[in-house]
Amino acid sequence: METMRYASPNTEGSLVHYQSRYDNFIGGELVPPAEGRYFENVSPVTGRPFCEIARSTERDVERALDAAHGARRAWGKTAPAERARLLNRIADAMEANLERLAVSETWDNGKPVRETLAADLPLAIDHFRYFAGCLRAEEGSLAELDEHTVAYHIKEPLGVVAQIIPWNFPLLMAAWKVAPALAAGNCVVLKPAEQTPATIMLFAELVADILPPGVFNVVQGFGVEAGKPLAQSPRVAKVAFTGETTTGRLIMQYASENIVPVTLELGGKSPNVFFADVMAEDDAFRQKALEGFAMFALNQGEVCTCPSRALVQSSIYDAFMELATARTRAIEPGHPLDTGTRIGAQASNDQLEKILSYIDIGKKEGAELRLGGERVTLPGELAEGYYVAPTIFEGNNSMRIFQEEIFGPVVSVARFDGYADAISIANDTLYGLGAGVWTRDTHTAFRAGRAIEAGRVWTNCYHLYPAHAAFGGYKQSGIGRETHKMMLDHYQQTKNLLVSYDPEPMGFF
Amino acid sequence: MRSLVEEHGPLMFHQSGGCCDGSAPMCYPDGELRIGARDVRLGDVDGQPFYIGGAQYERWKHTRLVLDVVPGRGAGFSLEAPRGVRFLIRSELCAVE
């Protein structure tokens, strides 16, 4: 396959030239932060800063909420056909700028451009189109309760919603949350992750001419300074958050102060189960299963559903792991803007340090290091970037590396002896977001898929994120579902009109 | 930590789990997170209490946690993030279980 290297942003010939400084996007305009402070935004590709971002505080959150509340009545009453048309226009604008947004996302997050071109951007674009379509097809319900009485159920928007998103798929996670909220007729105040604040500003430039002012607002800054006042505000009708468990608890606690709903996506420790029959033939399906094993390296392992626990049936363990290790060895870190690179940089220095600390405890607990296990230093401008070699550990499920999401390209592999053992190990976790099942036997596939306590069980596939397949967690992995039309319900009230057309009095008084 | 105490008063830590900034300790003004019946207080760091969820404690209790700090960027609502640093957990095996 022929490969090419995109020019680094802010250099000659690049598709992306950032402004030196980005303000908040409020009421359809760029608005400087009230306190006039900014923070440096570092590219994990090089470890060096490339722009400044607004460091917002409660006053900026209030200003964004003013703008959103100013827009919400008109937006909520905008006809579905018109809202859908605007969502489609957003998708078209993103598609026309696909390469530019993909390069920016790679520069801001560190992930390879191969993935942003083929996954992040196409999925985000499709998400706006999907919810534009859902919106046109949505309808309430009507029930005849008796001859003279009818109950109408009409969907109404919640109003202004707060959305706090993570840094692993910055634009895609924005699309997952913003598209259904806007489709349902809400106005949004979005707080991007402080690690990856840049591409959303390019997105804001694109939608500024499409959406009415105040419908979509971005407040940048640190969680404690900007995210917290947003999550605590009595002026938001709902809080949606993707992140981790302690912050998830805090978000619920804040929401309880205002009695508003939350949806939470809090990650997992997803099992990827390989039954013996995957090795029965040396065919395309065996190759697909091996690729499924290597999926732990997708997005440098920084995925809530990273298949970070591989469970392999004992009878095929040695043969399977030999092939799986060879497959993984071929994934070498390289320049993220090179279209041939299949693993890029971890998103931040602290993320790198955390991954290395987990590799350390893995060794101390006696797990066998089969591959990788170290930071990789690349030459030239990448020398200070945050690169880790794909790492395979072998051990048992009680080890810490099997129990906590490392959020890096690290897979922990254990054996199992038969179906019951596989399900028992798969479910021995606090989390339940994703899982994978690989088998040629349809009975095993369906039984295992139903028995694993997780919101999404990829069956003979992994890491597909199509719109119209619900995504969300069991157990401590969160509350609510995304990427499906049922998401509209998470962003709507139900109005019941109970109508009588009986002219006679009831006869009570 | 001393400068955080100067700015925010007494602190508390809670060990997070799950993804993104999970597996990282969160630092808040004392009392910010409501401590539940099943949270376990692992000890104090420079006089500030450190907690972990009960279920997570069961899976971590064979290890000794060392609170470190590294250059970094952000994490939930943790207080140190605006300073360009991040608390980090390093782990040792407990000598005796």
Residue B90 carries which side chain, given as an amino acid letter? R
pLDDT digits (tens, 9 = 90+) for A281-326: 999 999 999 999 999 999 999 999 999 999 999 999 999 999 999 9
Give the separation between CA A462 and CA A307, rounded to whole angstroms.
8
pLDDT given at position B95? 67
**Model pTM greater than 0.80?**
yes
DSSP output for A244-307: BHHHHHHHHHHHHHHT--EEEE-----EEEE-GGGGSSSSHHHHHHHHHHHGGGGGGG-STT--
pLDDT given at position A321? 98
Give the separation between CA B63 and CA B61, rounded to whole angstroms.
5
Burial of A482 (0-12, 13-18, 19+ CB in 10 A): buried
pLDDT digits (tens, 9 = 90+) for A385-401: 999 999 999 999 999 99
Sign of the alpha-carbon dihedral angle for A499, A502, A504, A506: negative
pLDDT given at position B19? 81
DSSP-derived letter for residue A383 is: T
Task: Give the residue-averaged pLDDT of A35-54.
Answer: 97
Which residue(s) pair with A285 in the sheet?
none
B34 CA to chain A: closest CA distance, Å?
Answer: 8
Sign of the alpha-carbon dihedral angle for A493, A219, A221, B30: negative
Location of structure tokens 């971590």: B60
For B:28-67, CB contacts with A below 8 A are 28, 32-34, 53, 55-56, 59-60, 63
- What number of other Cβ atoms are within 10 A of residue A461's Cβ? 14
pLDDT digits (tens, 9 = 90+) for A330-362: 999 999 999 999 999 999 999 999 999 999 999
A227 and B77: CB-CB below 8 Å?
yes
Does B96 score more than 60 pLDDT? no
Percent over 70 (pLDDT), chain B: 97
B20 and A477: CB-CB below 8 Å?
no
pLDDT digits (tens, 9 = 90+) for A468-493: 999 999 999 999 999 999 999 999 99
pLDDT given at position A55? 98
Give the separation between CA A103 and CA A70, rounded to whole angstroms.
35
Strand A149-157 relative to strand A141-146, pairing? antiparallel
0.85 surpassed by complex ipTM: yes
A485 CA to chain B: closest CA distance, Å?
Answer: 25
The number of residues making up chain A comes to 509
Q: CA angle at residue B75 from B69 to B80, to 5 degrees?
A: 45
Task: Give the residue-averaged pLDDT of B32-45.
Answer: 96
pLDDT given at position A482? 97
- The closest CB to that of B82, out of A222, A404, A430, belongs to A222
A430 and B71: CB-CB below 8 Å?
no
Give the separation between CA A49 and CA A217, rounded to whole angstroms.
25
Mutant choice from A35, A55, A169, A350 vs B, greatest count of B C-beta within 10 A = A350
Burial of A24 (0-12, 13-18, 19+ CB in 10 A): buried
Comparing alpha-carbon positions, the chain A residue that sits nearest to B29 is A224
Give the separation between CA A230 and CA A209, rounded to whole angstroms.
25
Enumerate the residues of chain A whose CB falls inside 8 A of the CB of residue B17: 244-246, 267, 404-405, 430-431, 476
Task: Give the residue-averaged pLDDT of A55-63.
Answer: 98
Secondary structure of A290-317 as H, E, C letters = HHHHHHHHHHHHCCCCCCCEEEEEHHHH
Task: Name the 3-class secondary structure at A214.
Answer: coil
Give the separation between CA A387 and CA A254, rounded to whole angstroms.
37
pLDDT given at position A53? 98
pLDDT band at B23 (very low <50, low <70, confident <90, very high): confident
Query: The domain B2-93 is classified under which CATH number: 1.10.1740, 2.60.300, 2.130.10, 1.10.1060?
Result: 2.60.300
Contact A134, A181 (CB under 8 A): no
| Element containing residue A182 per DSSP (H, E) | helix A170-183
Does the CB of A256 have a partner CB in chain B at under 8 Å? Answer: no
pLDDT given at position B97? 47
Task: Name the 3-class secondary structure at A507.
Answer: coil
- The closest CB to that of A357, out of B15, B33, B88, belongs to B88
B91 and A361: CB-CB below 8 Å?
yes
pLDDT digits (tens, 9 = 90+) for A201-224: 999 999 999 999 999 999 999 999
For A:58-117, CB contacts with B below 8 A are none
Does the CB of B19 have a partner CB in chain A at under 8 Å? Answer: yes
Does A25 score more than 50 pLDDT? yes
Location of structure tokens 């170290």: A374
- Given A52, A115, A225, A265, which residue is catalytic? A265
Give exposure, B41-58, as e/b (b: 16+ Cβ within 10 Å).
ebeebeebbbbbbeebbe
Task: Give the residue-averaged pLDDT of A361-383.
Answer: 96
Q: Which residues contact A287 (CB under 8 A, 6 or more apart)?
A: none
pLDDT band at A2 (very low <50, low <70, confident <90, very high): confident
The size of the A-B interface in CB pairs under 8 A is 167
Q: Which conformational region is residue A77 in: left (phi greater than 0), alpha (psi within -120 to 50 degrees), or beta? A: alpha
Give the separation between CA A112 and CA A120, rounded to whole angstroms.
11
Give the separation between CA A263 and CA A197, rounded to whole angstroms.
22
What is each CA distance from A154 to A73, A157, B45, in whole angstroms?
16, 10, 54
pLDDT given at position B59? 93
Q: Is A51 a catalytic residue?
A: no
Task: Give the residue-averaged pLDDT of B36-60.
Answer: 95
Does B46 score more than 50 pLDDT? yes
Task: Give the residue-averaged pLDDT of A428-454.
Answer: 98
A243 and B21: CB-CB below 8 Å?
yes
Q: Quick one: tokens of A253?
A: 């606690």
CA dihedral A456, A461, A467, A469 (to 10 degrees): -40
Q: Which of A44-58, A146-160, A486-500, B13-27 has the lowest mean pLDDT?
A: B13-27
pLDDT band at B73 (very low <50, low <70, confident <90, very high): confident
What is each CA distance from A342 to A155, A329, B74, in whole angstroms?
44, 12, 26
Enumerate the residues of chain A whose CB falls inside 8 A of the CB of residue B78: 223-224
pLDDT given at position A75? 98
pLDDT band at B20 (very low <50, low <70, confident <90, very high): confident
Contact A430, B59 (CB under 8 A): yes
| pLDDT averaged over every residue in chain A | 97
Q: Is A306 a catalytic residue?
A: no
Give the separation between CA A199 and CA A171, rounded to whole angstroms.
7
- The closest CB to that of A244, out of B21, B82, B93, belongs to B21
pLDDT digits (tens, 9 = 90+) for A172-194: 999 999 999 999 999 999 999 99
Location of structure tokens 């003279």: A148
B30 CA to chain A: closest CA distance, Å?
Answer: 13
Enumerate the residues of chain B whose CB falls inside 8 A of the CB of residue A405: 17-19, 22-23
B25 CA to chain A: closest CA distance, Å?
Answer: 9
Domain map of chain B by residue range?
2-93
